[in-house]
Amino acid sequence: MENLGTSQRLLGVDAARLVAILGMFAAHVFSLYTTDAGGEFSPTFTGALASGRASVLFMVLAGLSLALLSDSLSKKGLSHPKIYSVLARRALIIAGLGMLIGTINERIAVILVHYGLLFLLLPLALRLPRTIICVVSASWLLLMPILWRPLAAIWLGQTLEHNPTFSDLKTPLLLGQDLIVTGYYPLMVWFGYGLLGIALARCNLRDRAVVLWLIAAGTTVAIVTYGLGRTLALGAADQISAAVGSPTSLVSTLIITGRLAGINLDPYLADVHYLWLPTGHSNSLLATLHAAGCAVAVIGVLVLVIPRLGGFGRILAGAGRAPLTLYVGHLVLLPVLQHFLTPMVIWWILCSFTASFGLWLGFTKASGPLEYCVRVLSGADSVSGPKQSSAKTQ
């Protein structure tokens, strides 16, 4: 994708993709919780920091990337129908890839089908004015978790119980229900993250004052919502304990990690106080706002800092230019690696693999292998009309 208003890359946006990918690596490699000699549970560093936030950052960046790609195609002279055609093909390719590889590792909730559908739906919002898209994205993030909760409670358990695949097209109602409401990444809520990304793309991310404002706003929202959510959730520890069937002593860890051995928060969905949980992947109101605030703050910090890191910043940004390749690659590698190696060894192998892409892409104009394939197959390289641009796409 190309940056707004100039051919120069926003290296911080590339680096934010790397942060999202590494966060998902960690969530897929390491346990979210641990137990001590007395059998007491406590969250791990991954469970406390990465789980839930990394995938939300990935979705916010999807909206941001889509808006920048659309602007890039427009500058090449493509008409709006042609742009949507390119974006729709891109969406279907990514969703199809997700369905194709979903069975490789059922221990991981593969995000690609939802990511692809996000690309299919978000173009409908691309032509909204900046003020309108900001209002729409904020309203979506505020209202949809409230509307989603009772539906999720009513349809509790009515899920695919596996990653979406092509065979699920034979049961379209269940597939749609899983993708929109009952699955791991319910688009009813997660669509708001994509809208937020479009809103960010409409901000001037090259203006230091704007970026500082985004960092301050995102950090404030993240701190307030998490603090409020944790206070309210611990105040309802007895109700949560009774709903999920766990000792009250486990609630503190449970509301951070979202699940423990044989225990999750799904039975608590029927209680309206579920909205105040600060838990990643709970899709509660406060958790949704918290994750959105974290994503905005992270993007802002990286946009501000990465260009000042010189060659090292280019390496970090380079790795972030191959998010699809890295994501799919780790899904394919993990089942084999986890059979033979410890989580820490796997982590460093994945980091080394990622660093090699950073060194390669950070100092060349190349694209990641899967990124290149998607770009070509979707027709994003085609140019029509007089406004041909020499600018490179991200």
Q: ∠ at Cα 317 (163, 18), nearest 5°?
A: 25
pLDDT in tens, 284-320: 999 999 999 999 999 999 999 999 999 999 999 999 9
CA gyration radius, the chain:
21
DSSP at 7? S
Residue 74's pLDDT is: 82
Residue 383's pLDDT is: 52
Q: How far apart are CA 97 and CA 328, in angstroms?
A: 9
Residue 386's pLDDT is: 45
Q: Spell out the SS3 assignment of 33-85.
A: EEECCCCCEEECHHHHHCCCHHHHHHHHHHHHHHHHHHHHHHHCCCCHHHHHH
Beta strands in the chain (DSSP E): 33-35, 41-43, 259-260, 263-264
Kindly write down the DSSP assignment for every residue of 345-371, as one continuous string.
HHHHHHHHHHHHHHHHHHTSS---HHH
pLDDT in tens, 85-131: 889 999 999 999 999 988 888 888 899 999 999 889 999 898 889 99
Residue 392's pLDDT is: 40
Task: Collect the ranges in the chain with pLDDT lower than 70.
Answer: 1-8, 37-39, 382-394
pLDDT in tens, 250-279: 899 999 988 888 888 999 999 999 999 999
The answer to whether the CB of 64 falls within 8 A of the CB of 369 is no
* CA neighbours closer than 13 Å in the CB half-sphere of residue 243: 20
The answer to whether the CB of 60 falls within 8 A of the CB of 74 is no
Beta strand 41-43 with 259-260 is unpaired
Q: How far apart are CA 31 and CA 121, in angstroms?
A: 34
Q: How far apart are CA 107 and CA 130, in angstroms?
A: 39
Q: How far apart are CA 12 and CA 292, in angstroms?
A: 17
For the chain, the structural domain boundaries read 11-305
Residue 8's pLDDT is: 62
This prediction's pTM: 0.91
Roughly what angle, to the nearest 10 degrees, separates helices 112-121 and 53-75?
A: 40
Question: Which among 61, 54, 88, 71 is positioned nearest to 130, based on CA atoms?
Answer: 71
DSSP at 262? T
Residue 3's pLDDT is: 36
Residue 390's pLDDT is: 39
